[in-house]
């Protein structure tokens, strides 16, 4: 029997009811607690979710920082989202799976476990850190963004000690916002949106 990945989704209609938007929205407490209420979220096969714009997949998107610099990488071979292959990114994360918590009991604690699982699967952090949610991110301007809804977090390291755990994370390194601006046209759209609004978010450091 082949494995079918199950991913956490909400209905697009719920997002619209709460107030859909384009770009970043720092009002996380207006949205995320509602998304995590029983009955407002469920798991579906990833293949279905990727092709159904009536659903939004919830994606933790963690921006790792040290001082005033931001961790950047290029999506290499093995990336789960082939449409973003070779794009630059400042976000670590991915889909929330049914193994992170049952659909009926998937609450804020389960969400936090899923967030940390994704972060630790993709990176080895050799430093103490502080993690904080910053904003929601939506971009319906392309097929990838139309079926995803990002939850942007900051992971601020005490020391710049971080390595990649997956081959899909290539050319890992800390860059200044000025250096990232020079690479803007090589970045995935979510990273462009995050960097454009970074100065307006309540970031650590």
**Neighbour tally for 1: CB within 10 Å:** 3
The dihedrals phi and psi of 123, each to the nearest 5 degrees, come to -130, 150
The pLDDT value recorded for residue 20 is: 97
The pLDDT value recorded for residue 2 is: 45
DSSP code for 81: -
In sequence order, which residues have a C-beta less than 8 Å from that of residue 51 and are 6 or more positions away? 147
Q: Is 87 left (phi over 0), alpha (psi -120 to 50) or beta?
A: beta
- Assign 86 a pLDDT band (cuts: 50, 70, 90): confident
Helix (H) or strand (E) holding 10: strand 6-11
The dihedrals phi and psi of 128, each to the nearest 5 degrees, come to -65, 150
Pull the structure tokens for residue 122. Answer: 């993709």
Tell me the pLDDT of the chain averaged across its residues.
Answer: 92
Does residue 106 surpass a pLDDT of 90? no
Nearest to 58 by CA among 80, 39, 43, 48: 43
Per-residue pLDDT averaged across 141-162, rounded? 96
Per-residue pLDDT averaged across 2-19, rounded? 91
The pLDDT value recorded for residue 205 is: 82
pTM of the model: 0.92
Instruction: Give me the domains of the chain, ranges plus CATH numbers.
Output: 6-199 (3.90.79.10)
Cross-strand partners of 136: 25, 151
**Neighbour tally for 54: CB within 10 Å:** 10
């Amino acid at each position: 029997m082949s494995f079918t990945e199950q991913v956490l989704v909400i209905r697009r209609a719920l997002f619209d009811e709460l107030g859909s938007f384009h770009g970043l929205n720092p009002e996380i407490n207006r949205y995320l607690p509602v998304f995590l209420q029983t009955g407002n979220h469920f798991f579906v096969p990833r293949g279905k979710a990727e092709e159904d714009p009536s659903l939004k997949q919830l994606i933790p998107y963690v921006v790792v920082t040290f001082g005033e610099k931001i961790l950047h990488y290029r999506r290499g071979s093995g990336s789960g989202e082939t449409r973003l292959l070779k794009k630059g990114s400042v976000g670590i994360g991915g889909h929330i799976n049914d193994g992170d918590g049952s659909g009926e009991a998937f609450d804020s604690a389960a969400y936090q476990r899923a967030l940390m699982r994704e972060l630790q699967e993709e990176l080895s952090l050799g430093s103490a850190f502080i993690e904080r949610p910053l904003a929601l991110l939506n971009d319906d301007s392309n097929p990838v963004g139309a079926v995803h809804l990002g939850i942007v977090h900051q992971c601020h390291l005490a020391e710049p000690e971080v390595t990649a755990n997956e081959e899909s994370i290539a050319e890992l390194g800390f860059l200044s916002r000025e250096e990232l601006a020079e690479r803007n046209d090589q970045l995935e759209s979510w990273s462009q949106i995050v960097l454009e609004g970074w100065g307006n978010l309540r970031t650590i450091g």
